Amino acid sequence: MFDRSIKIAPSILAADFANFGAECRAIEAQGADWVHVDVMDGHFVPNLTFGPAMCAAIRPHIKGVMDVHLMISPVDVCLDAYAKAGADVITAHVEAGPHIHRTLQAIRGFGKKAGVALNPGTAVEAVAELLDMVDLVCVMTVNPGFGGQSFIASQVAKIARLRQMIGDRPIHIEIDGGITTATAPLVSAAGADVLVAGSAVFKGGSVANPGPYGANIQAIRAAAEAAVG
């Protein structure tokens, strides 16, 4: 069932790269709602991360939603592989090619939830013609490619504008980049419901000592919920 409650989606970009299965189990046990997987191709963004085989390998270690964020171009040729790898949500960038409409049709055609992401430099109007065919809009609050960057505050007005454009449609607003206990209230007040956080969730913890993951998730969630009217 669709709902706008606050959901925390830790990005495993900030996890121990030698231990993804255990890291996914640990963050879910510590209260993560979704698991966010940042796929980067070294071309659309200047960093290289996970392929479909890695997504398939971690899938059995995730009980809930596997949220795959594709920062790749071209994207259409790879959708089949990420769908087969077991993604629940597949998000593609509006900047990744000329045919985002076709991309979103294909994602839904695979029976997956379709997401569209916007870079900080892209106007929110770029998704206006897509709102009847998406389940999620991801507003990037950093330039994609790396974890641990600073939140770009100019994006908050964009989130509020997007929330107005969405109206009653069952579309999640996901925010990705620089989310902390300080920035979470800004985005939840503007209308966001899915908060991706990498460094702010994984800091201070480990698979051997996962308690800090839970404390971090709880602190971000509490900060976000306190700001929702």
- Catalytic site positions: 38, 176
What mask, x for binding Zn ion by CB under 5 A, covers residues 65 to 94? ----x-------------------------
CA angle 123, 49, 9 (to 5 degrees): 60
Q: Does 221 bind Zn ion (CB under 5 A)?
A: no
Taking the complex as a whole, the smallest distance from the CB of residue 34 to ligand DX5 amounts, in Å, to 12
Give Cβ neighbours of residue 222 (< 8 Å, ≥ 6 apart): none
Site string for ligand DX5, 37-56 (x = CB under 6 A): -x------------------
Q: Would you count residue 193 as binding Zn ion (CB under 5 A)?
A: no
User: Closer to Zn ion at the Cβ: 69 or 158?
Assistant: 69
Residue pair 173/137 in contact by the 8 Å Cβ criterion: yes
Contact 151, 179 (CB under 8 A): yes
According to CB under 5 A, which residues from 5 to 34 bind Zn ion? none
Which residue of 70, 107, 175, 197 would you call a contact of ligand DX5, by CB under 6 A?
197
E-strand ranges in the chain read 7-10, 34-40, 65-71, 89-93, 113-118, 136-140, 172-176, 194-197
Sequence-separated (6 or more) residues with CB below 8 Å from residue 118: 93, 94, 95, 124, 126, 127, 137, 138, 139, 140, 158
By CB under 6 A, tell whether 179 contacts ligand DX5: yes
Binding-site ranges for ligand DX5 (CB under 6 A): 11, 13-14, 36, 38, 69, 142, 144-145, 147-149, 176-179, 196-200
